[in-house]
Structure 1
């Protein structure tokens, strides 16, 4: 019966894997459909990969199950994206049930968070999402269970656990989930990156939306919006009907926090309780709207419904072709006293290049990021309101303005453009000075070759690679050619002469004699990621200090008379 049902798909697999057994291929398709609810057209790639790699079963389904080895692990970190039939003991942190349409049939699916290392109260724990396709009746929040026969799912680098219909759940310890009391809401500024919370906030924005299923089976009607209190704002996504008007004050209990890129978002589901809240002292809509307007330094990747006042300093139009149709995109640079970034618009704005700079108010825009730098996306022209004057001092030249921030703040914060920071030089890297860059991609050549484009002559460039420190925070500083020559008070000819006279290592040593232990002021744009913080500097200054004044300061510091 299975072979007839999957005949077309079996034939496609046998074309690629002629040595595969048709019954085994049919069994593989049946397993994906029966246990994981994955239709054969979506399972095709996985089945092909399975038989191409030679991991397909060589005997009957029954004997395969007997010979299959269970992978027993103690920690989630021991698992990889292709692990199947695993056994692990975990704590079920949260457990929720929702109805989901699968192949035209509505089924109940359980989901939530689980944590490993359940028996060590103060031990390090790793938390994963899980989805229970059973769902299993003995799976409950707060309990410790042994899961036998689960599989790992990996999507966009994020790991989660699939608890299949055939998975066995053994309850090792009954428990009661820790919940947030409905009488104890938290402030929006204190919302964690994940978990279940209770908040009180006023609706700033609300609009219907749709989420399209990846398998093309249809779409889900949702409501997106934003709520606020006196401490901040946060976006929400409601999977259930949401009929509350903008300006309504609500108490929301049992909202799930999920993070999209760097931005937490509230999710409202069937178990979320939403009720109108009454508080005469709570700020009104206008006050919250004005107080929650963001600056560029507060933009975060993934934010939606963002309001801000910015100044457009550069604006261009470009065309591109999509699906044979010419389309247009407007983009440019924007700034405010806290920094600079880019902005793009999908509709033409009433802005002329001769009128720049132009101050505008943005309403409900989206924030994306490229290399960590925020990029504002304007979908419609009515999201932009032109203002007659900026709310800040008009004498500030935002095109060349640099925001002074401590190095500790730069290292701990997001990537930013147009900043200036101060630090003590603790290292000058050996690859400072003259370098050669690839003629194709501008990567630095190593032994005359580019990692991507191979050997080439390269284009000459100059740079400094430094490490600076301040208050225990460190960052790399990459100084461009112009700033390097200016900070060393050299011309390119003088630099060539110095390298010829002292050699490359000798030149770097002379730079160390100049910079090591000195305080520098560097300006440019920062890139902050999991590997650390780096400042791409287009200006470097070495402040001169009065030695006699410094000696007086040290004597006072150390208590010398």
Structure 2
């Protein structure tokens, strides 16, 4: 059977548009999927028939949906609705996304058509596709999906609407609304999907925590010190922590002054590492080693990466610039992280400026003397380190914003550690 005949047969059986079925069939066959298997896959996708093939699938509880569910029909409450633009197969596509919930559970969704969804709506979505996203099932509401708004609201055990505090945000959230103060903002130009793109980036905060943000369609209201309500933002991951993304579809409105917490989240090292990353965290532990790559280092003048023998991995032979850095292993008895101190913090623990360190190295005819002095002053002492923790294949690294010797009672710290181990 030719591909055209197969598409004609499926379209007639399923009661859907032949052009759409043929495009799906061509794609599957192009991936070397056997024709019979491809046809069966499309029968599952379109629900084994439209008006002439037995109707839509029977209704499914959200808790029972898996990535292998094929197409389903669900009745659910719309928890959140977000809107953004993505690149799909080379074209710009406007999508709507968020979460749906019933009494059994909740699930994320992507709507490829505008179904005029609003938070709080109770809907029945018929013939919704299911795909796997980040290891979890996600509903796809497309051209073959029917969406009916029901008058009787479905009661669900989940909050309706996108209002959240920063501490509640997680990577993957869509359609969120937050009230924050802009703590830091920078306008810069990057190479975006449409060439050079101007964006805003920086840090926002509220009473619960602080997080990085990026505004992909710079809003004039986002100035340092401004308190704003950001509606319809999405959250992705930046260096292991949630990052707020503002788009052309987000609304930005001024609000009364938002209080921002001056304190960081205080955790044990083990808790912090297990979290996968924390943007603003406070850790206390002993410096057990100052690692190689500390003291006087040299960076590429183009990209800022550390270079060896005047060679940058990206830019090749360069004329490097001198800098100061500390990479210290911090251990609190539960786990370890590498605390990374920038030039300013390194100068404080070294006891002199970059120029002082260069003169010290020239006098001794050895650049290692700077790291040796730092190690003598740090190793074996307890410190409180505040900063942004990222956890990846390279380990757990804490980029320090504050670094101070701890005044905590060593016996009290030891007792607390033993209690945690025994607990």
TM-score w.r.t. structure 1 length?
A: 0.52
- 5 Å-filtered alignment, 1:276-425, equals 282=156, 288-289=160-161, 293-315=163-185, 332-336=202-206, 337-344=208-215, 346=217, 348-350=219-221, 353=223, 356-368=224-236, 371=239, 374-380=243-249, 383-390=251-258, 394=259, 396=260, 402-425=264-287
Name which of 478, 498, 501 aligns with 2:340: 478
What is the SS of the residue equivalent to 1:288?
coil
CA distance in 2, matches of 1:526, 1:274: 45
- What is the deviation of 1:522? 1.8
Q: Rate the CA distance shift 1:255–1:470 in 2: closer, same or farther, 3 A.
A: farther
- What is the deviation of 1:417? 3.5
Q: Rate the CA distance shift 1:246–1:375 in 2: closer, same or farther, 3 A.
A: closer
What is the SS of the residue equivalent to 2:272?
helix
CA distance in 2, matches of 1:481, 1:321: 28
Task: Look up the match of 2:390.
Answer: 527
Name which of 106, 109, 117 aligns with 1:236: 109
Q: Rate the CA distance shift 1:98–1:538 in 2: closer, same or farther, 3 A.
A: farther
TM-score w.r.t. structure 2 length?
A: 0.66
Task: Look up the match of 1:541.
Answer: 404
- 1:256 aligned onto 2:119: no
Once the two structures are superposed, what CA deviation does each residue of 1:318-343 show, in whole Å capped at 9, x if it has no partner? 78999999987555532223123123
- 5 Å-filtered alignment, 1:55-454, equals 105=22, 108=25, 132=33, 134-136=35-37, 185-186=62-63, 196=69, 201-206=76-81, 214=89, 224-228=97-101, 235-238=108-111, 246-249=119-122, 256-259=130-133, 265-268=138-141, 282=156, 288-289=160-161, 293-315=163-185, 332-336=202-206, 337-344=208-215, 346=217, 348-350=219-221, 353=223, 356-368=224-236, 371=239, 374-380=243-249, 383-390=251-258, 394=259, 396=260, 402-454=264-316
**Are 1:99 and 1:108, in contact at CA under 8 Å, matched by a contact in 2?**
no
- What is the deviation of 1:139? 7.4
CA distance in 2, matches of 1:346, 1:323: 13
Once the two structures are superposed, what CA deviation does each residue of 1:4-41 show, in whole Å capped at 9, x if it has no partner? xxxxxxxxxxxxxxxxxxxxxxxxxxxxx98xxxxxxx
**Are 1:99 and 1:107, in contact at CA under 8 Å, matched by a contact in 2?**
no
**Are 2:235 and 2:245, in contact at CA under 8 Å, matched by a contact in 1?**
yes
Looking at CA atoms only, which structure, 1 or 2, has the larger radius of gyration?
Answer: 1
What is the SS of the residue equivalent to 2:302?
coil
- What is the deviation of 1:491? 5.0
CA distance in 1, matches of 2:371, 2:201: 41
Q: Rate the CA distance shift 1:404–1:237 in 2: closer, same or farther, 3 A.
A: same
CA distance in 1, matches of 2:26, 2:146: 17
**Are 1:226 and 1:234, in contact at CA under 8 Å, matched by a contact in 2?**
yes
**Are 2:189 and 2:196, in contact at CA under 8 Å, matched by a contact in 1?**
yes
Give RMSD over aligned pairs: 5.3
- What is the deviation of 1:434? 1.1
Q: Rate the CA distance shift 1:331–1:505 in 2: closer, same or farther, 3 A.
A: closer
Once the two structures are superposed, what CA deviation does each residue of 1:33-70 show, in whole Å capped at 9, x if it has no partner? 98xxxxxxxxxxxxxxxxxxxxxxxxxxxxxxxxxxxx
Q: Rate the CA distance shift 1:424–1:230 in 2: closer, same or farther, 3 A.
A: farther
Q: Rate the CA distance shift 1:490–1:215 in 2: closer, same or farther, 3 A.
A: closer
What is the SS of the residue equivalent to 1:463?
strand
CA distance in 2, matches of 1:316, 1:110: 44
- What is the deviation of 1:535? 1.5
CA distance in 2, matches of 1:327, 1:453: 23
CA distance in 2, matches of 1:501, 1:329: 46
- The count of residues paired between Structure 1 and Structure 2 equals 382
Q: Rate the CA distance shift 1:454–1:196 in 2: closer, same or farther, 3 A.
A: same
- What is the deviation of 1:550? 6.1
Q: Rate the CA distance shift 1:182–1:427 in 2: closer, same or farther, 3 A.
A: farther
- 5 Å-filtered alignment, 1:7-22, equals none
Task: Look up the match of 1:91.
Answer: none
- What is the deviation of 1:427? 3.1
- Which runs of 5 or more residues in structure 1 are unaligned? 1-32, 35-96, 112-129, 141-180
- 1:461 aligned onto 2:323: yes
- What is the deviation of 1:203? 0.7
Once the two structures are superposed, what CA deviation does each residue of 1:530-549 show, in whole Å capped at 9, x if it has no partner? 333212223222214557x5
- What is the deviation of 1:486? 1.8
CA distance in 1, matches of 2:328, 2:214: 31
Task: Look up the match of 2:47.
Answer: none
Once the two structures are superposed, what CA deviation does each residue of 1:338-381 show, in whole Å capped at 9, x if it has no partner? 12312315264456x5xx52222222123355555624223146
What is the SS of the residue equivalent to 1:136?
helix
Task: Look up the match of 2:379.
Answer: 516
